[in-house]
Structure 1
Amino acid sequence: MGHLASTIEFIKRLIDRDEDQLLCTTLLSMKFKVIPNAEELIESIVGFSYRERIKLVHLPDVEWVAPDQPSSPENSFCTFIESFTPHVRDAVTHIVSSNSSNQVDTVLVLDFFCVSTFMDVGHELGLPSYLFFTSNYGFLCFMLSIPDRHKNKSSEFQQVDPSHPDYYLTLPGWKNPVPTSVLPTGVFNKVGGGYATYLKLARRFWDTKGIVVNTFADLEPEAAESLTSTDHAQTPPIYMVGPVVDVNGQPNPGLDQAKRDKIMNWLDDQPHSSVVFLCFGSMGIFGADQLREIATALERSGLRFLWSIRVPPPAKTTDEVLPEGFLERVGKKGMVCGWAPQTEVLAHKAIGWFVSHCGWNSTLESLWYGVPIAAWPIYAEQQMTAFRMVKELGLAVNLKLDYRAGDLVTADEIEVAVRRLMDNGSDGDALRKKVKEMSEMGRKAVMEGGSSYNAIGQLLKDILGTSN
């Protein structure tokens, strides 16, 4: 849902700037079994005030059978998306035919995982395709570098020891050498098609009409200056339009209002900047052993905390996975919940730190509200994002930068890290100040005259073919 949420917020930004109402937007969404209430969530994010300007088309279900051969998550996901191609072609063809009498141009704005297939639909119909890149500019630089690397080394990346000469990579847009230990797991995968999937996607990035990135110039200035041209092709136009965040915090339709109120009322009773907020995203599920280690660390630390937990199956409740008597022992100092209204929580005066998986949406939300991050990435490009935030930008601290699925981070490690969050003196004060300054820069970027405000204006001109 992270990609979809930021995409909808981006659409709202376009609509808000389209004063002449020349823009007609249609959002095509697919159904995922892991998100059974996706349609409700999408409609809640769109919100009542935008329903007339954003037409929602929920594509029909598809029958998809997992491949018999080993397949990486990236390859499986792209294959699943490809199965929607006939439905996407039908929907886009209908949009084009409906607009033909009005002489309205149609463009496709595609998600990261959709470019390899749905750009072909655009080509068939003579439509330009833009990429909406929901991650950071540093990761975009990495993706754009893959095709050139493949020319010289036509194989997947290698997992090697730090002493190996290939352990550190020199990438455009990065000040520091990037260790291979923080690359997405899929780029090491050959048998399951992970590397081939990344290569296929990266090649299509170069063929887009433009790339819209959810970041801003003051946050990633080196990356913004690095993409000019390569031997492969001229870099597509880049539009930095972020931070695109849902500052209104649209409610989860599946959440009881009473549960939301319980969380916010508890925060109201906590001292300023005293609470550590732990949340690992919609797909961040730890096993019971890891949850118990986290609980033990929090209890020992004595810190105030709000902990959003996704209970791992087959367990149904937190009581089944947390140490016996844990909640009674921590008392009013801690609260455990399921889903939490993250933007509201991060905006609350009681929050002092955010222990995060470093999903890019969560990272931008944390920066928007000036809350420092302790990085505990889990999957996909999150390790790379965490490295960028900690080592490149100096806007986060390392809790477990090199975490991989299946690792067990001990209570001792976690306790040391969370204690350091609240006890790191002048270093902590300096980091908080830097995060607050970046928060102000991000807010200015989207205001009239700001870099992202201007980028959205330019994008609208390019899409609509106007010069006003």
Structure 2
Amino acid sequence: MGKNLHVVMLPWSAFGHMMPFFQLSMALAKAKVHVSYISTPKNIQRLPKISPDLQPFIHLVSIPFPALTFGFLPEDAEATVDIPFEKMDNLKLAYDLLQQPIKQFIGDQLPDWIIVDFSAHWAVEIGKEFGVPLVYFFVSCAATCVFFTSLENISKANTEDHDVLPSPESFTSPRDFGTFRSMIAYRKHEAVDMHAGFYELNDSGISDSDRHTKILSACQAVAVRSCNEFEGEYLEAYKNKFGKLVIPTGLLPPEQPSAKREISFDGSPNNVIFDWLDKQKPKSVVFVGFGSECKLSKEQVFEIAHGLELSELPFLWALRKPNWADSDADALPPGFVERT
């Protein structure tokens, strides 16, 4: 790669998307590729620090939501973690309003590539106008990528004939990809929700399926957060289906902690968590984590805590302070930490 190669990153405003894009940015920077990573100011501030040796290659570009978004998003909300699930369509509306300032940036910079998430379907027109090719970066595993795209009819994706779309029931059956048969399928109740979320028109005016299909049809290559050792068959199946270049990026794990382990998840002294884990027997610790997008009620949190106590097993629970809790202590039943 030439030292002057420049790519623009356009991640969706969710940390499950922004972090893989950020990790890919660092991997590219290590190869001396210049990266412009675009997101909103609050999201940029919440990203990890960039090591000094990579700072010359990564430009974090803060573009705020236009003032038009005030009123239909909570104050200071810039990512899915900041909003209730029912406001998701409003965030997509706000994200789509970034189209013009991002177009201006790309027109000024004329990068060599745009690496785009599913959300920025309008990047297709921007790329065509300025002659900048697109790479579609799929942040989920290859199996998910193949599963959903195998349900698409790309040639009819932009028509109004919604009868071509698969039914929720089609989500419940494993697929045959020619060289192998997958075991992946959704349960019926999961299929109903996933089908509605992916295919149905939402308040943003375009379904997630149409965003995905538009970018997939126009991109020059698909990058998938996976590797041949882990999902070689699925990566090959995806390549065979569309005949496009499929690039496994690797799993993009976060940077390894330093030898001093200067990390603390809960404010406790350094090394406490790691030292405790080192003393546990192999395969003995229960890890509990639902991700930042799952906003548990007080009743749900207390029930999980009760279940962990009843199990009498050592556990590590990653729990962000819920909105309903005034402090970290309020997020758990009285005496829970002391008892464990």
The one of 113, 116, 133 aligned to 1:110 = 116
Do the aligned partners of residues 254 and 118 (structure 1) sit closer, same or farther apart at CA in structure 2, a change above 3 Å counting? farther
- Give the deviation of 1:256 after TM superposition: 8.0
Distance in 1 of aligned mates of 2:328 and 2:268: 19
- Residues 212 and 47 (structure 1 numbering): CA distance in 2 closer, same or farther, change over 3 Å? same
* Structure 1 contact 159–180 (Cα < 8 Å) conserved: no
Matched, 1:291 2:291: no
Residue 9 (structure 1) aligned to one of 14, 20, 23 = 23
Equivalent residue letter for 2:336: F
Judged with a 3 Å threshold, the aligned counterparts in structure 2 of structure 1 residues 42 and 166 are, in CA distance, closer, same or farther, namely closer
- The answer to whether the 8 Å contact 2:141/2:225 transfers is yes
Give 1:81 shift. Answer: 1.5
Match of 1:206, SS state, is helix
Q: Name the structure 2 match of 1:220.
A: 231
Cα pair 1:75 1:197 within 8 Å, conserved: no
Relative distance call for 1:295 and 1:87 in structure 2 (3 A) is same
Label 1:12 to 1:83 Cα distance change in 2 as closer, same or farther (>3 A).
same
Q: How far, CA to CA, are the matches of 1:180 and 1:325 in structure 2? A: 38
The whole-number CA distance in structure 2 between the counterparts of 1:49 and 1:2 is 25
Q: State the TM-score, normalizing by the size of structure 1.
A: 0.56
Distance 1:79 1:171, change over 3 A: farther
Q: Letter of the aligned partner of 1:275 in structure 2?
A: V
The 2-side partners of 1:184 and 1:9 are apart by: 33
Q: 1:166 to 1:282 in 2, by over 3 A?
A: closer
Deviations 1:91-147 (CA, angstroms, capped at 9, x unpaired): 112212xxxxxxxx6211112322x12222111111101111111111111332343
In the TM superposition, residue 240 of structure 1 has moved relative to its aligned partner by 0.9
Q: Secondary structure at the match of 2:332?
A: coil
Cα distance in 2, alignment partners of residues 299 and 81 from structure 1: 42
**Offset of 1:238 from its aligned partner?**
0.4
- Counterparts in 2 of 1:255 and 1:156: CA distance versus 1, 3 Å: same
Pair 1:154 & 2:163 matched: yes
Report what 1:267 is aligned to. Answer: 277
Cα drift, residue 292 of structure 1 = 1.4
Q: In the alignment, is the contact (CA less than 8 A) between 1:12 and 1:50 conserved in 2?
A: yes
In structure 2, the gaps of 5 or more residues are 1-14, 74-84
Q: How far is the alpha carbon of 1:51 from its aligned partner?
A: 0.5
Provide the residue aligned with 2:127 in structure 1. Answer: 122
Alignment partners' CA distance in 1, 2:124 and 2:284: 48
Counterpart check, 1:210 vs 2:218: no
Q: Structure 1 residue 84: deviation in Å?
A: 0.5
Which residue of structure 1 lines up, in the alignment, with residue 139 of structure 2?
134
Matched, 1:26 2:33: no
Deviation (angstroms), 1:77: 3.7
- Selected match of 2:245 from 233, 237, 252: 237
CA distance in 2, matches of 1:59, 1:184: 36
Select the structure with the greater relative contact order (CA < 8 A; seq sep ≥ 6): 1
Aligned counterpart, 1:447: none
Deviation at 1:169, TM superposition (A): 5.3
User: 1:393 — aligned with what?
Assistant: none
**Change over 3 Å in CA distance of 1:180–1:235 after alignment to 2:** farther
* TM superposition shift of 1:217: 1.1
Determine the C-alpha separation between the residues in 1 that align with 2:18 and 2:192: 21
Deviation at 1:25, TM superposition (A): 1.8
Conservation of the 8 A alpha-carbon contact between 1:141 and 1:171:
no
- Pick one of 160, 172, 176 that aligns with 2:183: 176
Q: Deviations over 1:369-397 (max 9, x none)?
A: xxxxxxxxxxxxxxxxxxxxxxxxxxxxx
Going from structure 1 to structure 2, the CA distance change for 1:142 and 1:80 (only over 3 Å counts) comes to: farther
Residues 143 and 234 in structure 2, CA contact (< 8 A), matched pair in contact too = yes
Inter-partner Cα distance in structure 2 for 1:155 and 1:170: 18
1:281 to 291, 303, 307: 291
Deviation at 1:196, TM superposition (A): 2.5
User: Higher mean Cα deviation, 136-145 or 255-264?
Assistant: 255-264
- CA distance in 2 between counterparts of 1:121 and 1:206 reads 15
Note closer, same or farther for the CA distance 1:197–1:39 as it changes in structure 2 (3 Å cut).
closer
Residue correspondences, number? 301
TM-score normalised by length of structure 2:
0.75
User: 1:378-457 alignment to 2 at 5 Å?
Assistant: none
Deviates more, 1:240-249 or 1:260-269: 260-269
Contact 2:262 2:270 (C-alpha < 8 Å) held by counterparts: no
State the superposition RMSD in angstroms.
3.5
Q: Percent identity?
A: 19
Q: What amino acid sits opposite 2:339 in the alignment? A: R
- For residues 203 and 246 of structure 2, the distance between their equivalents in structure 1, rounded to whole angstroms, comes to 29
Say if 2:64 is the partner of 1:60. yes
